[in-house]
Amino acid sequence: MKTDGTHLPAAAPITVRALAVEGAHVFTPRVHHDERGIFTSPLQGEEFARAVGHPLPVAQTNHNRSARGVLRGVHFTTTPPGQAKYVHCARGRAQDFVVDLRLGSPTFGAWDTVAMDTVSFRSVYLPVGVGHAFVALEDDTVMSYLVSSPYRPGLEQSLDPFDAELALPWPEDLALTLSERDTRAVTLAEARARGLLPRYEDCLKVTAGYA
């Protein structure tokens, strides 16, 4: 908090950057500090809609807590109905990944990564059909999700996070821990051959319903 009587121009309430995956964005909110601690707003609806072109429909909120080295993903939801996600780190630190799994997308197979923590409070928006993964970099890392559709176990899909075709740059200095589901997940090529991957046009149709 400034106490010398001077005034600085107000920073933007939230800044937005497009990621390498078409339609995915990272949002960085302004963080207010004073003697009590901090206050920030990871999601700001008007700014989100202005950047993305539609509001964020929220059907459910999720959160998970992970030990250092826990790797979750690459996860996606069968489309339709599909699922969009808005994710931020509420405690600890994580390296977050978005992967374009949408057949026909101009960035199919591309990925991007964002460092997430409780200093910047960056949030990542993943459109319908985009895969999500992260690795916890500290014990007790908490990831918080807003999602556009309720959890339906039969629609949840997983890809091998170590698939050479994806070539995601996981930290080499961590002993990584995966669930049995993620350990046994199929590769991108196998998912494509089995018809598991979402089609870009179907993802756009679902997203059009958010407007």
Q: For the sheet containing 130-136, what is the strand order? A: 111-117, 93-100, 130-136, 71-77, 156-158
8 A C-beta contact, residue 123 and residue 50: no
pLDDT at 211: 83
pLDDT at 11: 59
pLDDT in tens, 183-202: 999 999 999 999 999 999 99
pLDDT in tens, 78-131: 999 999 999 999 999 999 999 999 999 999 999 999 999 999 999 999 999 999
3-state secondary structure of 48: helix
* Residue 67: closest CA among 86, 91, 88, 85: 91
**Which domains, and CATH codes, for the chain?**
14-208 (2.60.120.10)
Contacts of 177 (CB under 8 A, 6+ apart): 67, 69, 70, 71
Q: Which residues carry out catalysis?
A: 75, 145
CA 95 to chain centre: 10
8 A C-beta contact, residue 137 and residue 81: no
